[in-house]
């Protein structure tokens, strides 16, 4: 690399002095020789300002690069966080459940309880049918019942999601019950076929069959249209004979159960 001439570092200063002297001489001559109209005055003012601008520009060239002021970078704004699509509320919390029990038809041998999952050692609910007994398929059933300590408010949730694992099972039924006086309103969904060992499902309340059950007369009445539940007193997961591969025995593990939103 060629060496820098000794006078190189003084070049900016020499240039400033030279330009300033020339401009100042021109401005002084014009001001002495003729009365400056407004246009000439503006030219002189602009010339003086130009000298100042040149001085400032050259002053910046004298500063080392490390001393240059850098414009602060604008902070990168975080992307707006949208509400999580499909929010859920677990119904298997120990603080919600009062008891587990089973309702079954005559002659059925079945158990519904909490057990440890063989997959991850977490607690799950197990509905086990050892003997379905004799009779018509629609009349033979076992239903695992989840009673809550107090009614669970549905709020803005519009359905129920459930994750299952089964053995010897090709379908299942799910129902949400809400009590009002002597009446139970039952939102019922029967998934009658297509289940293979395990699956995750989500059912909106408006796709459920709605029934009214009178606890005094013990009769169900099918309702064509009705409101969505405001609260849930009880959940039932059930198996009928037609849900079982051999129509006699089968097991169902409930790994998750939650109120579900669909945003």
Three-class DSSP category at 191: strand
d(C-alpha 164, C-alpha 168), whole Å: 13
pTM of the model: 0.65
pLDDT digits (tens, 9 = 90+) for 98-144: 999 999 999 999 999 999 887 777 889 999 999 998 887 778 999 99
The pair of three-digit structure tokens given for residue 190, joined into one six-digit string:
């029967």
- Indicate left, alpha or beta for 135 from its phi (over 0: left) and psi (-120 to 50: alpha): left
Domain boundary residue, one of 19, 36, 67: 67
d(C-alpha 216, C-alpha 239), whole Å: 25
Establish if 77 belongs to a structural domain. no
Contacting residues for 166 by C-beta, under 8 A, at least 6 apart? 172, 195, 197, 198, 250, 251, 252, 253
CA of residue 197 relative to chain centroid, distance: 28
Tally of domains in the chain: 2
The boundaries of the domain holding residue 231 are 88-260
Does 107 lie in the same domain as 40?
Answer: no
In contact, 162 and 175? CB cutoff 8 Å: no
At 157, which CATH number? Answer: 2.60.120.430
Does 129 lie in the same domain as 26?
Answer: no
pLDDT digits (tens, 9 = 90+) for 45-89: 554 565 455 456 545 555 554 444 444 443 333 333 333 346 899
Three-class DSSP category at 30: helix
Does 196 lie in the same domain as 124?
Answer: yes
Three-class DSSP category at 45: helix
Does 37 lie in the same domain as 96?
Answer: no
The pair of three-digit structure tokens given for residue 15, joined into one six-digit string:
């240039």
Q: What is the dihedral of CA 99, 104, 107, 110, to 10 degrees?
A: -50
Three-class DSSP category at 150: strand
Does 179 lie in the same domain as 131?
Answer: yes
The pair of three-digit structure tokens given for residue 246, joined into one six-digit string:
């051999």
- 38-47, 93-102, 144-153: segment of lowest average pLDDT: 38-47
């Amino acid at each position: 690399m060629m060496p820098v001439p000794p006078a190189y570092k003084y070049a900016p200063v020499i240039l400033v002095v030279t330009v300033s002297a020339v401009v100042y001489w021109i401005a002084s001559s014009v001001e002495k020789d003729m009365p400056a109209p407004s246009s000439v005055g503006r030219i002189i003012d602009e010339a003086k300002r130009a000298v100042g601008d040149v001085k400032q520009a050259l002053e910046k060239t004298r500063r080392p690069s490390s001393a240059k002021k850098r414009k602060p970078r604008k902070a990168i704004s975080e992307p707006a966080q949208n509400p999580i699509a499909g929010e859920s509320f677990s119904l298997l919390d120990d603080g919600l459940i009062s008891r587990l029990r089973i309702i079954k038809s005559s002659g059925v041998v079945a158990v519904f309880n909490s057990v440890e999952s063989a997959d991850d050692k977490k607690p799950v609910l197990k509905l086990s049918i050892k003997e379905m007994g004799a009779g018509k398929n629609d009349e033979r059933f076992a239903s695992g019942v989840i009673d809550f300590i107090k009614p669970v408010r549905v709020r803005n949730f519009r359905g129920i999601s459930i994750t299952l694992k089964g053995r010897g099972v090709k379908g299942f039924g799910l129902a949400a019950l809400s009590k009002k006086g002597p009446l139970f309103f039952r939102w019922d969904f029967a998934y009658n076929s297509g289940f293979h060992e395990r699956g995750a499902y989500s059912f909106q309340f408006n796709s459920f069959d709605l029934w009214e059950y009178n606890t005094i007369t013990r009769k169900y009445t099918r309702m064509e249209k009705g409101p969505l539940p405001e609260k849930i007193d009880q959940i039932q997961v059930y198996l009928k004979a037609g849900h079982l591969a051999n129509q006699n025995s089968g097991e169902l593990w409930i790994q998750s159960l939650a109120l579900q939103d669909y945003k």
